[in-house]
Structure 1
Amino acid sequence: MPLPKALLGYPQSDHFREGRFRNARERPPTTLWQSLKLFGAVLFRKPAGTVPKRPIPVRPVTRQMLEAAPDRSLFRLGHSTILLKLQGRYWLTDPVFSKRASPVQWAGPARFHAPPISIDELPPIAGVILSHNHYDHLDHAAVLQLDAKTETFIAPLGVGDQLMAWGISPGKIEQLDWWQSTLAHGLKLTATPAQHFSGRGLRDSDQSLWASFVIQDRDLRIFFSGDSGYFDGFKAIGDAYGPFDLTLMETGAYDPRWAFVHMQPEQTLQAHLDLRGRWLLPIHNGTFDLAMHRWQEPFERITALAASHGVDITTPIMGERIDISTPPSSQGWWRDPVTA
């Protein structure tokens, strides 16, 4: 009986060596003492304001609304979960619908808000685009529930093997290395580099790849960052595939202590410029408490930076429909969640 691909490794990938995937630049080592200090700070020294005191605004989404929405519509469902309507078909990025971003549902970071639409209410999904296997991006329960209505799962190397282990049919999974592309329902999807890491437990560190994605719909180009620290790969992606009409850029759950794998807002803005993006939509915020900053801070910092640099930025309310080609400017809904 042949070994599963995950055990054989990925010899076709230049990024897989000695049993693990690697960034183009090696991640700085972390000492046990540094890890213990960080763990203690997260558990016992959380500052005030990392969780909203009042419910944040959410606009409910229905199946009828999706079917009536014009092509090239986008709905932000929370964190890094985006629903795109392209060529009359629906696409989801990093779908997380569970209450907690955690290996268990009785502990761990809990959602600030319910998803604007349930998985049951969603129409058939042409494809699910997965950036990596962390719990706030790869939701076991959501994947299993989405299986019945999803045609294809597009994932970096190794993440697809995880889906197969969960019972998803191999015929529905396409795994890509960095710079590999696939065609589906009139779209071209390309896995592009990111600077991050992977793992869902103590023994699987970096055994699956992490990626960003370029989504091309004829003349429309969208960039989905997944999770990444700032690196020169953004310029390489911009040179190869830019300019982009819209960049969906990680802006949240950052801290100077883990800047190698999560961008600070100043770096998010620079990455958007490197990509030659037109509109910037900050994601990876507003849903889970995953860092030490106030929950509103990512929105406040990135919108101020965008204004000072003349960058067009859009920050839709969860569930709000926007036109990808001409999104609305930022309106600051997070400043007054009661009246927004």
Structure 2
Amino acid sequence: MSTPFASALAADNTVFTTQVNNGKYQNAQAMPANASAWGILWRYVSEQRVDATPSNGIPVMPLSASQLDALPADQSSVIRFGHSSVYMQVAGQRWLIDPVFSQRTSPFSFIGPKRFHQPPLELSELDSIDGVIISHDHYDHLDKHSIKLLKDKVQHFVVPEGVDQHLLDWGVNSQKIQRLRWWQSANFGELTVTATPTQHFSGRGLFDANQTLWASYVIDAPEQRIFFSGDSGYFDGFKQIGERYGPFDLTMMETGAYDKDWSAVHMTPEQTLQAHLDLKGKALMPAHNSTFDLAFHSWYEPLERISQLSEQANVQLVTPKIGEVFTVGQSQGTEAWWRALN
């Protein structure tokens, strides 16, 4: 069982605390405005795009429940399931981050961004899960269908403040839910999960903008410390997180779905690399790519750009295939698998 929340907020911190104004959550740092929805829609209608979706299948390494059971309990293992969905074995526990197994990231089953590939295994194949971490309530990170399938298999759900109401509406037992503000922590045996700031926004419809909080996470296990960025524009909060909790053995960083029209809430690869350095990260695993078409760039551009940038900066880049096991802390070679698909 988890212990009560423990605040990790320093007494002299007045900048990146959770802020609410008239029932809406706010970013702690002023940021430039994004383009209008009409302007972005016009670009989707009028702008010619190149390689928005892969012409060949994304390589997926199929997984089985027995393979997951065989992962060493004394090591931290990370497996990308697609987009920002990650399976982790840490501190001998089994966790999922932002599990999205639906075919589309949309409120509708017949329209919206469709998957490039299937997950490496189905949710029905997963045994009991110790915990699920949710970064925010956008459809590509919080999937109603997946949560409803998982709710009876999962012991704990860790969510930003306000996201708990979605889970309650979908039948998750309230005793399983840990809701966190920025800098609050929850302990699960030897594992500590801390919600940390991001620069983003929330909402699932036309009338619920920013009524729930968004977060990144520090995942602290005896063997390693891991950071998951969730979605964020680049901001000074990464330096603050790095000062408090770094260095990190692995950072799983948003690298994809960026654009000049929403630069305040999604990072370019250059900014992703800088955020990784701010966090005092060792190995960098790009996430938020290769599963859904959510921007105007080619599907492979985020991986190619971050690959070149990491090489120039002498940063260890980890780009496993979907379903491939990465053992945190090991010098494990990775393949630029996307280049064979162009």
TM-score after normalising by structure 1: 0.93
For the 8 Å contact 2:91–2:223, the answer to whether it is kept is no
Partner Cα separation in structure 2 for residue 149 and residue 27 of structure 1: 40
Match of 2:267 among 263, 269, 275: 263
Distance, in Å, in 1 between the alignment partners of 2:71 and 2:98 is 21
Identity %: 49
| Aligned-partner SS, 2:151 | helix
User: Is it true that 1:217 corresponds to 2:232 in the alignment?
Assistant: no
Question: Counterpart of 1:295 in structure 2: which amino acid?
Answer: W
Amino acid at match of 1:107: I
Task: Trace 1:69-108 onto structure 2 (pairs within 5 A).
Answer: 69-71=71-73, 72-108=76-112
Q: Which residue of 2 aligns with 1:47?
A: 49
CA offset at residue 96 of structure 1?
0.2
Shift of 1:69: 1.5
Query: How far 1:105 moved relative to its partner?
Result: 1.1
Partner of 2:187: 183
Flag structure 2 segments of 5+ consecutive residues without an equivalent: 1-16
RMSD of aligned alpha carbons: 1.4
Q: Within 5 Å, which residues of 2 pair with 1:321-340? A: 321-337=325-341
Equivalent AA in structure 2 for residue 16 of structure 1: V
Aligned partner of residue 98 in structure 1, secondary structure = coil
Q: Aligned residue for 1:234?
A: 238
Q: Tell me the number of residue pairs that the alignment of Structure 1 and Structure 2 aligns.
A: 324
Q: Which amino acid aligns with 1:57?
A: P
- Evaluate the alpha carbon distance shift between residue 17 and residue 327 of structure 1 in structure 2; reply closer, same or farther with a 3 A threshold: farther
Q: Tell me what 2:39 maps to.
A: 37
Q: Is 1:199 aligned to 2:226, yes or no?
A: no
What displacement does 1:63 show? 0.3
Judged with a 3 Å threshold, the aligned counterparts in structure 2 of structure 1 residues 55 and 313 are, in CA distance, closer, same or farther, namely same
2:68 aligned residue: 66
* Counterpart contact for 1:176–1:191, Cα < 8 Å: yes
Match of 2:124 among 114, 117, 120: 120
User: Conserved in 1, the CA contact under 8 Å of 2:18 and 2:182?
Assistant: no
Equivalents in 1 of 2:48, 2:142: separation in Å? 25
Q: Which amino acid in the other structure matches residue 50 of structure 1?
A: A
Residue in 2 aligned with 1:292?
296
CA pair 169-57 structure 1, distance change in 2 beyond 3 A: same
- The residue matched to 1:148 in structure 2 has which SS? coil
Contact 1:57 1:337 survives alignment (8 Å)? no
Secondary structure of 1:203's counterpart equals coil
Query: Relative to 1, partners in 2 of residues 1:64 and 1:313: Cα closer, same or farther, differing over 3 Å?
Result: same
Match of 2:169 among 118, 143, 165: 165
Question: Is 1:133 aligned with 2:137?
Answer: yes
Structure 1: segments with no counterpart, 5+ residues: 1-12
What displacement does 1:26 show?
3.6
Cα contact 1:314–1:327 (8 A) shared by 2:
no
Asked if the contact 2:18–2:28 (Cα under 8 Å) also holds between the matched residues in 1, the reply is no
Deviation at 1:328, TM superposition (A): 2.1
**TM superposition shift of 1:218:** 1.4
Residue 261 of structure 1 aligns to a residue in which SS? coil
2:7 is aligned to: none
Specify the SS of the correspondent of 2:167.
Answer: helix
In structure 2, do the counterparts of structure 1 residues 30 and 87 end up closer, same or farther at CA, with 3 Å as the change threshold? closer
Q: How far off is 1:337 after superposition?
A: 3.6
SS in 2 for 1:120: helix
Q: Distance between the aligned counterparts of 1:197 and 1:14, measured in 2?
A: 13
Partners of 1:329 and 1:303 in 2: CA distance: 13
Amino acid at match of 1:278: K
